[in-house]
Amino acid sequence: MNNQTIDLRTCEPGDTLISSQGAILKYVRPTKESEYLDHYVQYIELPDGSKPKASFGTRTHDGFVFKNKRIPETDHDIVKIIKKC
């Protein structure tokens, strides 16, 4: 799935993110200088409906799990941003 229109720099903490694999994530914040990639996210619900315990990750500005090496069949790249009301 193509996510070229995704720009996590437009996100505010609490915005909902949908991954290409169907997971629901929450935007937490931009990463700090010492952290990996550009944005810090939290997994809220996995595609099977289960709730992960304290599962966090990072994404590039355009929502990718990895900057260079990508595996679209399994990566939870961000494909949709739902702005917090």
Query: What is the per-residue pLDDT across 41-60, written as a single tens digit (0 to 9) for each?
Result: 999 999 999 999 889 999 99
Nearest to 77 by CA among 10, 15, 20, 8: 20
Q: Confidence class of residue 26 from pLDDT cuts 50, 70 and 90?
A: very high
- CA–CA dist 5, 62 (Å, integer): 8
Residue type, 58: T
d(CA 64, CA 67): 7
pLDDT at 21: 94
